[in-house]
Amino acid sequence: MAAPQDMCFAPDPGALEVLDALRAAGYRAYFVGGCVRDSLAGRTPADWDICTAARPGQVLDLFGAQRCIPTGLQHGTVTVRAAGGLYEVTTFRVEGGYADGRHPDHVDFVDDLQADLARRDFTINAMAWAPGEGLADPFGGQADLLVHRVVRAVGDPARRFAEDGLRILRLYRFGAREQLSLDPATARAAIDGRARLGCVSAERIWQELAKLLSAPRPAGWMPAEIMDVLLPGLGAAADPAGYAACLRAVDALPPDPLARLAALLCLRGAGFAGRSLAALRCSNAEAKQVQTLVEYGALAPDGTVPPRRQARRLLARLGPDTLLRLLALRRAQTGDTAFDELAAAARALLAENACCGLGQLAVTGRDLLALGVKPGPAVGRLLAAALEQVVEERLPNRRDALLGWLQTHLNTQEEP
C-alpha cells in the first residue's frame, strides 16, 4: 500500500530502473539522503543517490562493467549509468576511527539500513525511501524538516563534529539553504568544535563557503566565531558593528558567492583580501575578480558626470561582469540608488553593444600600421587614445571618423 508521503517522490526513470534492478536481484535498496530531503520539502532533487545491501562487487556484476564507473569502491560507491543519467549506488556502511578529523579510517559494509542512516550527518539527511515501502526515518528527519524546521545532528553533535569537521560547514549550509533554524545543542557543539575546521582542506572550505554564500539570505547562518576561523584576520567577533554591516550587505546582494565574499573581505581591505583569497585557494579567475571588487570598494557615483558617461568609463576599465558585480556590491553596502542608475546605464550600453573596449573599436592595430605607425608600443597607445575618444563620446565608433582623428593626431603629435 502506498504511504501518504509517497506522492512527494518522483524519481526519474533511470533512478527507478537502477533501484528496481537491485530489488529484482534480491538486494534491499533505497533512495537516500538529499533526494529524500528535497522531495519531502517539495523540491526537485538534483540527483538520486541509492543505498543498498548489495556489495560493490555485486553491483558491478549486476549492471556490468560497461554501465559502471568505480567511483569509490573502497567506500562502497559505484556509479551506474541508466536512461542517460548517472546514479551513485553505495553499499550500506558504517564508519570508524576519524583520526584526521575529516575522514573515517575505515568503513565496514553492513546489511542494515538503520546503521547506514546513523552514520549520516543530520536528521534531515538521514532518511531513505523506496516505492511501496515508504519512508525510513529513524531519527525524526521529516518532522525536523517540516514541523520543527531545524537542522539537528544525528546522535551526539559534539562527537559527530569531532569525527568530521566538514559537518560544521554543512550545518550552516543546509540551515541557510533550507532556511531552517539550528537545533541549539547542535549549534553550540558546532561553535565549540570550530577548531575542527582546521582539519578541512582549503579547497573544501571554499566549496562549502561558496555554497553557503549562494543561499537566499545566508547572514543568519554566518556566526562571527565561525567566520573568524574560515577567514583568519577577519576579526568579526571583535568588531560586531563592522561585521553586522558586512552581513547586511551579504543579505542585500543577490546569491552571488563572489560578490558576497567581497562584501566580507571589504571589512579589512585589499591586503587582507589578497591573503584570504590565496589561503582559500579559489581559482585565479575568482581570486582576481574578488580582489578587484575589494580594491574598488570605495567606488562612489560622481554627481557631476552623466551616469551613461560614468558607466561607459567603468565598462572600459573593468568589463561588464566585474562592473555589474561591483555596482551591486556598492548598492548593497551603501543603499545608494545612484548605483542602480549606473547599472541601468551600463546595461543599456551593453544592450546597444556600445564600444567600451579595444575589441569593439572600429579600427585595429593593422589600420595604424597602414597609416605608417611603426610596430611597437606606439600602436597600443594610439588605440587606447582612440578608445578614450569613443568612450568619452567625443567621436563615434566609426572607422572613417577614427582614421581621420588618428591621422590628425599623428600629424600634430610626435610619436617616438
Query: Which residues form the interface with Mg ion (CB under 5 A)?
Result: 34
Determine if 167 is a binding residue for ligand ATP (CB under 6 A).
yes
CA–CA separation, 135 and 237 (whole Å): 42
Least Å distance, CB 102 to ligand ATP, is 9
For the record, the C-alpha cell of 415 comes out as 610619436
Give the binding range for ligand ATP (CB under 6 A) out of 134-142, 164-172, 268-276, 348-356: 164-172
Least Å distance, CB 140 to ligand ATP, is 15
Q: Which stretches of 240-283 are DSSP H helices? A: 240-252, 257-265, 269-280
CA distances from 260 to 52, 123, 263 (A): 40, 29, 5
Of the pair 18, 265, the CB lying nearest Mg ion is at: 18
- Name which of 318, 343, 316, 312 is nearest 329 in CA terms: 343
Least Å distance, CB 364 to ligand ATP, is 47
Least Å distance, CB 88 to Mg ion, is 8
Least Å distance, CB 50 to Mg ion, is 12
Give the binding range for ligand ATP (CB under 6 A) out of 163-171, 212-220, 284-292, 307-315: 163-171
- Name which of 197, 269, 185, 188 is nearest 227 in CA terms: 197
- Collapsed DSSP state (helix, strand, coil) of residue 102: coil
CA–CA separation, 276 and 38 (whole Å): 33
CA–CA separation, 303 and 310 (whole Å): 10
- Name which of 106, 103, 25 is nearest 61 in CA terms: 25
For the record, the C-alpha cell of 265 comes out as 573581505
Give the binding range for ligand ATP (CB under 6 A) out of 106-114, 159-167, 202-210, 369-377: 159-167
Residue 121 interacting partner from ligand ATP, Mg ion, none (CB closer than 5 to 8 Å by kind): ligand ATP
Of the pair 168, 311, the CB lying nearest ligand ATP is at: 168
Q: Sketch the per residue contact string, 101 through 130, with ligand ATP: x for CB under 6 A, - otherwise.
A: -------------------xx---xx----
Window 45-74: residues binding ligand ATP (CB under 6 A) = 46, 49
